Structure 1
Amino acid sequence: MRRVRVTAALGLALAVTLPLTGCGSGSGTGGTARVPEGWSTLDTDSLSVGYPEDEGYAEQPAAERSGNNAAVALKVEDGIRTGMVSVQLDFATGVSDAAGAAAAAGAGIGLGTTRRSTEDVRLAGPSPAREARRIDYDFTADGRENTPNRGTPMTGVLVAGVDSSGVPFVVRLNAVKGAVGEGELDAFVGSITVK
């Protein structure tokens, strides 16, 4: 049976979530978001988002990631994927605002998921593309595709909106529960710039 090792480093590494209104440097300011020192960025046509490279996250090559994802960064410990940041673009039709994007993205978080909260957020970038919605949720790992053992408590957050060209986007973080604190989530949110 595989064992999941949760370390303090994982907590920092998973500082990859999205901001509440007014939280995080650079969120809600227009312009470009602040990416913490030691982090790198996933850059797509619709947005850029930071991930903690200095804590072991690494960008997944395009040839290895799912065709549904525009960009991915993974945290892998002992062969187990304990954290994942992903960006999906143009994932829904008929979506024209953050509420619609969040409804479409939220429908895809899966059975057995418990929603903890839904909040409106403001990201860095041009208005009205800055408007987005954050959904926090909990679930259990299924043990498939190099994820933690079946039944391991997990947490997730997604931020959904529409970029300045009208393309819907969703940014997700899934991680072992307890490895991510609110301050770390705020840092992640503060690293997102919508284009």
Structure 2
Amino acid sequence: MTMTRRLHAGRRAATAALGLSLLLTLAGCGSGTEGKASVPEGWSTLDTDSLSVGYPKDKGYAEQPAAERSRNNAAVALKVENGIRTGMVSVQLDFATGVSDAGEAAAAAGAGIGLGSTRRATEDVRLAGPSSARDARRIDYDFMADGKEDTPNTGTPMTGVLVAGVDSGGVPFVVRLNAVKGAVSGEELDAFVGSITVK
């Protein structure tokens, strides 16, 4: 009899725990978010009004002070080697007018990649954040450095990825990572895209 009571008590406790777990899960679903993106170990984060994004701090990238960056950028992290900017992560907000979705944001951002660039891939991606702002478009591309503004010598092969979309407030954004070709792996580019959380 005692054993039967213990079994029933154990079943009741398990059922109650399962019910509480389901209730918490359903409560989370009602928030309309998909949580926060994970940032790889050793990376740090750029945080803006529209989004946050990781950057490889463990590879020598450091956030640029607001007073030093271009006013077109909401946040920047740079990798500088011997005075040469060999890598850059940048966030631009409200960079185009008449943009209302990821496709339009990507078209506007893609126009700024530059002549002589080669697009390698374009794909739709889903970012972490509010469901109304999770759709984005990713463009992978290669280009040659122009040697201007402390960038590598003219003709140095470079690689880049950009992610464009519109945040939950309707503000278009574009996030870029540009680096000397071979300095950032394909897995790291994927991790960069996966580290974005839209607000």
Is the structural similarity TM-score above 0.5? Answer: yes
Higher helix share: 2
Instruction: Extract unaligned runs of 5+ from structure 1.
Output: 1-28
Q: How does 1:171-190 map to 2 (within 5 A)?
A: 171-190=175-194
Larger RCO, structure (CA 8 Å, separation 6 or more): 1
Query: Residue type matched to 1:116 in 2?
Result: R
Displacement of 1:128 in angstroms is 2.3
Displacement of 1:129 in angstroms is 0.6
Query: Which shifted more, 183-192 or 94-103?
Result: 183-192
2:72 matches 1:68: yes
For the residue of structure 2 that corresponds to 1:101, the secondary structure is helix
Deviations 1:157-189 (A, max 9, x none): 100000000000000011101222221112112
Distance of 2:115 and 2:191 partners within structure 1: 29
2:112 to 104, 108, 133: 108
Structure-1-length-normalised TM-score: 0.84
Distance of 1:176 and 1:33 partners within structure 2: 26
For the residue of structure 2 that corresponds to 1:172, the secondary structure is strand
Query: Residue type matched to 1:102 in 2?
Result: A
Runs of 4+ with deviation above 2 angstroms: none
Distance of 1:54 and 1:137 partners within structure 2: 24
Q: How does 1:8-157 map to 2 (within 5 A)?
A: 30-157=34-161
Structure-2-length-normalised TM-score: 0.82
Distance of 1:36 and 1:115 partners within structure 2: 26
Distance of 1:102 and 1:189 partners within structure 2: 14
Q: Percent of pairs identical after alignment?
A: 87
Superposition CA RMSD, Å: 1.0
1:16 maps to what in 2? none
Say which one has the larger Rg. 2
Displacement of 1:55 in angstroms is 1.7
Query: Residue type matched to 1:154 in 2?
Result: M
Distance of 1:118 and 1:157 partners within structure 2: 10
Deviations 1:91-137 (A, max 9, x none): 00110000000000001111111111110001100112110000111
Instruction: Extract unaligned runs of 5+ from structure 2.
Output: 1-32
